[in-house]
Structure 1
Amino acid sequence: MKEWRILERDLPESIFVRVYENRIDLLRAVIVGAAGTPYHDGLFFFDIAFPSDYPARPPLVYYHSFGLRLNPNLYENGRVCLSLINTWGGKKCERWNPNESTILQVLLSIQALVLNEKPYYNEPGYTMWPGRALRQRQSMVYNENAFYLSCQTMLILLRLPPRNFDGFVNWHFRVRSQAILSACQAYSSGKVTVGSYTSDGSGSSTVDEDVVSRLFKGLLGGLYPELVAAFSSTGASVEHFVEQPKLELEAASYKADGEPAKKKENKEKRGFSISKILGKLKKVFGMKNRVKHLCSSSST
């Protein structure tokens, strides 16, 4: 099939696919979140089905959301909104063209146009307005939520990896665990904007005052021990991430509308130290093979 030859030749290292010998109409792909976005180092799985009259009609794309909405274009029910597959409006040149469009273009579009650095602006009507402080702040908060949900997705994938990708999932997070945990620390410090952290510290957007919300700090602080434990179970060397400075749980009491609840007069500031879970983490501790960019299997 021509599509397979294109994928074998041009698929980037950040996208992996598996095809099935007995079902050439099906394909499963995983996209690695790109650096510079709130999706960095995450894994995002998509199932793709080719209709009987393909390429007259575009492929059907389903996103494994696990019930989480981490992007305006990716719905909890698995729907993917993208002009190229005719699930969203757009100019004629942006929609599926049977004579030119390919599945590779679909995967690259999802990676570049959907899982981008400012997904907030993917919402219809939320156009880029440079200098508009409110929109910019809302975009930053959206990035915080996207990163948090991406981390939740990591935990789900490690517990329930998609079929035929269990080895790859473990390998990926074993290799990228330190970068992910370092990013969590940087974001929890409040001095680095979500999505701008780089593992070597270069290019990070740092400021003198907090640029992340108290709610995000609290949520991420609660998730951090789970990430350390999950990465440890893959065989990753994360021991030095166990004993860390306190990550503040400032979001312990928030109203449903996101506004901070009124604090009691003499209530102490609450926090926790990651070192408290050292005993728990030591109980947990696997994986070696990286899957090829294109491989085959006999079942879905």
Structure 2
Amino acid sequence: MASALQENVHAIHDEEAKFRQFDVVNDCSDHYFANSKHAAYKRACFTSTGNGALYKKIMQDWKILEKDLPESIYVRVYAGRIDLLRAAIIGARETPYHDGLFFFDFAFPCDYPNRPPLVYYHSHGLRLNPNLYSGGAVCLSLLNTWFGTENEKWNPSVSTVLQVLVSLQGIVLNDKPYYNEPGFKLSGSWETYNEDAFLLSCKTMLFLLQNPPRNFEAFVVGHFCERANSILSACKAYQDGHVRVGLYRDENRPTCMSEIQASDRFKKSMDKLYKDLSVGFAKNGASNLHNDLIEEFGDEIENIGLKQKRVTEKKKLGESCEIIVYLKSILGLNKGGKTLKNNANGIKMNTS
């Protein structure tokens, strides 16, 4: 079972290890703004005259990102569409977003930096934060999409894309997102909100495992292979009441042994998510799942491994058949497979 599951694990980790934090790519076909009416206007603006200052500013942003990105943020820009950018943010430890991946698509307006970039969040229809809407809208003072003082809003002279990314990670995806909207009184408590945020973060992981964003496929696979056990350990710690949801530190560090009662709704939802994540991580190629997971979901994980092995063997068999057919066509082997005919000199050779 292990060999079937882990046949491509080393290759996956090699690809993830090579994945640069900042890189220029070509394919922007799944970018939110690539085919929108906003993008069409911006692209026409980029091909018009008098945009040297705009190009220069975007190149400055690229250089800043390439040099100063935090280790937990990854960016792809596009050679043919410098007005577009995609970023992946890893959720910080001791928040309900820890170990999750959160993707944002950026588009630079024609008068950038006089106006801030447009930003779309890949929500998968989930509202896991007061500032990140299920439709993809992002509310942040620095983007001028939320209230704030002059110092908090976009300043064309000093504001950068890097500042936006760091703000999304540190200010939006924080340890108590319940308090992100002080102007509105949310029902419940920050503890309850953290439970919901973590559940939705786990659901986001499942969406990403099934359909990773373009140009980030290897990164998504490698990240969840590496973090699978830590994520599942946090799920168990929260469910068993060893640590409050969102405050998990690390699987190798002792957690609080006092009982912290999670809601029944959270426990029920986590039962299913824990199983789905375990199977999803195994299917994704996680090579170091805890033994208790193998015992609990062994049959399903083994079936995944056997299916992967069959797919690999079928692919290899198909490639071999194609090669044989190709060689037969070149050598003039007849359907019966008995003779080879050399059309150049009429010589027949018995192959039996």
Give the TM-score taking structure 2 as reference length. Answer: 0.67
Q: Which runs of 4+ in 1 moved over 6 A?
A: none
Q: Secondary structure at the match of 1:28?
A: strand
How many percent identity over aligned positions? Answer: 56
Aligned residue for 2:337?
Answer: none
Aligned residue for 1:266?
Answer: none
**What are the ranges of 5 or more consecutive residues in structure 1 without an aligned counterpart?**
128-133, 245-274, 287-300
Aligned residue for 1:80?
Answer: 138
Aligned residue for 1:158?
Answer: 209
Deviation string, structure 1 residues 146-175 (Cα, Å, up to 9, x no partner): 000000000000001111111110010001
Aligned residue for 1:139?
Answer: 190
Deviation string, structure 1 residues 89-146 (Cα, Å, up to 9, x no partner): 110110000000000000000000000000000123368xxxxxx98x7100100110
Q: Secondary structure at the match of 1:54?
A: coil
Deviation string, structure 1 residues 231-272 (Cα, Å, up to 9, x no partner): 11122121524257xxxxxxxxxxxxxxxxxxxxxxxxxxxx
| Distance in 1, Cα, partners of 2:129 & 2:292 | 29
Deviation string, structure 1 residues 9-33 (Cα, Å, up to 9, x no partner): 1101100000000000000000000
**Match for residue 283 of structure 1 among 303, 319, 322:** 303
**Match for residue 240 of structure 2 among 186, 189, 202:** 189
1:169 counterpart = 2:220:
yes
Aligned residue for 2:61?
Answer: 3
1:32 counterpart = 2:90:
yes
Aligned residue for 2:265?
Answer: 215
For 1:71-150, list aligned pairs within 5 A.
71-125=129-183, 138-150=189-201
Q: Give the letter aligned to residue 215 of structure 1.
A: R
Aligned residue for 1:131?
Answer: none
Higher share of residues assigned helix? 2
Deviation at 1:191, TM superposition (A): 2.5
Q: Give the letter aligned to residue 273 of structure 2.
A: L
Deviation string, structure 1 residues 182-236 (Cα, Å, up to 9, x no partner): 11111110221012112245374x2533331111011001111110111111221
Superposition CA RMSD, Å: 1.9
Query: CA, structure 1 residues 10+241, in 2 after alignment: closer, same or farther (shift >3 Å)?
Result: farther
Aligned residue for 2:278?
Answer: 228
Q: Secondary structure at the match of 2:272?
A: helix
Larger radius of gyration: 2
Alignment check: 8 A CA contact 2:117 2:143 kept: yes
Number of positions where the alignment pairs a residue of Structure 1 with one of Structure 2: 247
Higher RCO (C-alpha under 8 Å, 6+ residues apart): 1
